[in-house]
Structure 1
Amino acid sequence: MGTRKTVTLHDLSAELGLSIQTISKALGGKPGMSEETRARIARTAYRRGYLTVAQARELASRGIAPYPTFQLRFALIQSRQSTNYNTLLAEGLRQRLELLDHRLECHTLDEDLSDSAFEEWMERISLPTADGLFIAPRLLSDTTERKLFGLSLPKVLINYPRPLSELDSVIWDVYEAVCMAVDRLVRLGHKRIMYVGDIGSQRGFARRWQAFQEMMGEHGLVCGLESQLTGDWDAETLQDKLEEVQPTAIIAGIDEDIERLFRNLDELGYRVPEGLSVIGLANGPVAAVPGLSRPELLIRETGYKAADKLLWRLANGSEPWEHIRIAGPFIEGETARRLES
């Protein structure tokens, strides 16, 4: 890697057509401009790799070189099953690493490989010579994940860790998101809340269900498994469960189910939110349901934090393992409303 050209306030001023004073105030968080101008300055500074003294000091305090002298190569291992949110995750990782002149390679592993085939696959993508490894959620099998855990590379798991896992982890906090969804519905007067979604095939899915049970219990509400829709379902099984349970609200726990749920509810004659409130754990905005009420899952931000965590681990190899959960705010939307008494 060549010598990095230092970006100055003069460079940013010339590119943006703004005064140095305005740019300095924006990056220092001082008033005197519109939020649109402040955001444009921040985006340009980020893209150009400009760091304020405070930002550089903050990175250095964690052992992360703000202006590294050589480029590191990192790998993200994912499955096709998770590409809908891994796009956001990879964006966060790549933006953060490229800011520091490092490189991210994304690789897909959708087969449960034998030991010899796994070794060949690693050699083909030059994984053993990578400087670090990010392991995305929803890999094909536990066996594949354990093989990646066993590699002698610095690594960050982007998922909830298994018990006794000896590695760092960072994850957008779906547990807190479900707790937030239940609490919001209860505060709107709902007591018959039905959970819709897989509760066991992935650790993140199991965490969602655990959160639903715990938060319903916190409010003294019944949440028996028989009152939820947790297996494979279609419009007919949804209708049967709605008639049986008669919920006033639904939490759709899995992103892939949300559009289908709203379509089926419409076909069955349920009006949202007039007849039934719905909160969904969407990975981002849902085009088919633009006003969805939802806890925001900070997937891109998780990528930023995971990149920082792996760079920190490279500089602090003997420090204890850390497990970080990132919670976002609640987006009110238009699909949940107060229950009429």
Structure 2
Amino acid sequence: MTGDTTDPQGTAALRPSSRVTLDDVARHAGVSSATASRALGDHPHVAEATRRRVREAAALLDYVASPEATRLAGGPTGRVAVLVPHPSRWFFGELIEGLEAELRAAELDLVLFRVGGPEERHAFFARLPARRGVDAVVVLAFAVDEVEHARLASLGVVVVAAGGRVASYPSVGIDDHRAGRQAVDHLLHLGHRRIGMLAGGDEQRLSPDPDGRASAWRAALRDAATEPDDDLVVTVPWDGEGGAEGMSRLLGLRAPPTAVFAHCDEMALGAMRTLRRAGLRVPEDISVIGIDDHPLAALTDLTTVAQPVREQGRRAGAMVLDTLRGGPPPRVPPAEMLPTRLVLRGTTSPPGVPR
């Protein structure tokens, strides 16, 4: 055995070669390639200890940065791309508010890219305008397919998800199954057994966990020794008009439900409009519960399961900053789950019992 293959720090095998790459430097420094690029490019949001570690690794390996490598993460642009399907909707607006507040404090700017309908979304990922130069990308509450995932990976920047688990990215959201159980278990506790469900349609993959709330409905009923009736499930868009239309369909059944679980508050509010127009009372005739704690939920006295939407955006922003400041990339990207809570108001009561 010769003395040239290793040294006390295990660095000799990585020593100079004309083919040393930025990835070699990143591996030796124990950081991601994007962080190594920022450290060598004097990015303002890289911790000094990380910057020093990367520079020492580069010097040890005789690394010389190429123009392409220095552009790996867009350089120190001070901008974060935010991919959002429907920026005008309350849920996405709340996520953006929390995210923007966290990043603004670190002097980073948000660049919003709308990826709503299928054509718009396809065009965005085909062009990927984020290549214009950003330090990170935040995906807001929609699932990405394999092609989209590969396109994002080609940027070589930090990708974080807010509003639910997306692919293998670090993310922050809620446990959709648990939130659904809180809603349906409440109705079961009141004595309801014929419980309808207004399920959010997911043709645009707007929910990272489209099955979480639906599986909660089925599991809760089975735990209550009640076999789920698929006739009581209506899949509609995630909005008030969808909820109104879905409630009409449930009322058309020979045996309508005594209670309705809506996947979001806006759908629940639409359902309440249909019930009012049909001359039915809530909750005396039919109980209604949603998920979110939308501002209109309190105004309409809607029972719901509250989720901290703005805090999810803020925590996603903190994840971006933590990664930009350096440190080793996690072996398993973190999926932070924030708690939900049942908020009792006036739209639920025992079946057939006047309030």
Q: Does 1:336 align with 2:348?
A: yes
TM-score (norm 1): 0.68
The 8 Å contact of residues 264 and 291 in structure 2, kept in 1 or not, is answered as yes
| Residue 218 of structure 1: aligned partner | 223
The 8 Å contact of residues 173 and 297 in structure 1, kept in 2 or not, is answered as no
Q: 1:224 to 1:339 in 2, by over 3 A?
A: closer
Q: 267, 273, 288: which is aligned to 2:283? A: 273
1:236 offset after TM fit, Å? 4.5
1:144 offset after TM fit, Å? 4.1
What does 1:197-276 align with in structure 2 at a 5 Å threshold?
Answer: 197-198=199-200, 200-201=202-203, 202=205, 203=207, 204-231=209-236, 233=245, 236-241=248-253, 244-276=254-286
What does 1:1-341 align with in structure 2 at a 5 Å threshold?
Answer: 72-80=78-86, 83-110=89-116, 111-113=120-122, 117-119=126-128, 121-123=129-131, 126=132, 129-138=133-142, 143-144=147-148, 147-161=151-165, 165-198=167-200, 200-201=202-203, 202=205, 203=207, 204-231=209-236, 233=245, 236-241=248-253, 244-282=254-292, 284-286=294-296, 290-314=300-324, 315-320=326-331, 321-339=333-351
SS in 1 for 2:89: helix
1:77 offset after TM fit, Å? 1.1
Rounded to whole Å, the distance in 2 between the matches of 1:238 and 1:145 is 38
Rounded to whole Å, the distance in 2 between the matches of 1:284 and 1:237 is 24
1:288 offset after TM fit, Å? 9.4
1:337 offset after TM fit, Å? 1.6
Rounded to whole Å, the distance in 1 between the matches of 2:145 and 2:321 is 27
The 8 Å contact of residues 112 and 143 in structure 1, kept in 2 or not, is answered as no
Rounded to whole Å, the distance in 2 between the matches of 1:221 and 1:228 is 15
SS in 1 for 2:296: coil
Q: 1:186 to 1:323 in 2, by over 3 A?
A: same
Rounded to whole Å, the distance in 1 between the matches of 2:273 and 2:196 is 17
The 8 Å contact of residues 125 and 151 in structure 2, kept in 1 or not, is answered as no
Rounded to whole Å, the distance in 2 between the matches of 1:146 and 1:264 is 44
Q: 1:73 to 1:112 in 2, by over 3 A?
A: closer
Q: 1:235 to 1:87 in 2, by over 3 A?
A: closer
Rounded to whole Å, the distance in 2 between the matches of 1:288 and 1:268 is 23
Amino acid corresponding to residue 237 of structure 1 in structure 2: R
The 8 Å contact of residues 172 and 315 in structure 2, kept in 1 or not, is answered as yes
Q: 1:173 to 1:286 in 2, by over 3 A?
A: farther
SS in 1 for 2:210: helix
Q: Which runs of 5+ in 2 are unaligned?
A: 1-44, 48-75, 237-241
Amino acid corresponding to residue 313 of structure 2 in structure 1: G
Rounded to whole Å, the distance in 2 between the matches of 1:143 and 1:159 is 21
The 8 Å contact of residues 76 and 107 in structure 1, kept in 2 or not, is answered as yes
The 8 Å contact of residues 303 and 347 in structure 2, kept in 1 or not, is answered as yes
Amino acid corresponding to residue 263 of structure 2 in structure 1: G
Amino acid corresponding to residue 87 of structure 1 in structure 2: G
Amino acid corresponding to residue 329 of structure 2 in structure 1: S
Which one is further off, 102-111 or 184-193? 102-111
Larger C-alpha radius of gyration, 1 or 2? 2
| Residue 35 of structure 2: aligned partner | none
1:157 offset after TM fit, Å? 1.6
Q: 1:289 to 1:221 in 2, by over 3 A?
A: farther
Q: Deviations over 1:160-201 (max 9, x none)?
A: 445xx3321111333222111011112222222111123543
Rounded to whole Å, the distance in 1 between the matches of 2:300 and 2:308 is 18
| Residue 47 of structure 1: aligned partner | none
Amino acid corresponding to residue 265 of structure 1 in structure 2: L
Q: Percent identity?
A: 23
Q: Deviations over 1:248-269 (max 9, x none)?
A: 2111113442232111111122
Q: CA RMSD in A?
A: 3.2
| Residues paired across the two proteins, number | 267
Rounded to whole Å, the distance in 2 between the matches of 1:294 and 1:251 is 9
Q: 1:276 to 1:289 in 2, by over 3 A?
A: farther
Q: 1:290 to 1:107 in 2, by over 3 A?
A: same
The 8 Å contact of residues 74 and 133 in structure 1, kept in 2 or not, is answered as yes
Rounded to whole Å, the distance in 2 between the matches of 1:216 and 1:290 is 27
Which one is further off, 190-199 or 142-151? 142-151
Which one is further off, 218-227 or 280-289? 280-289
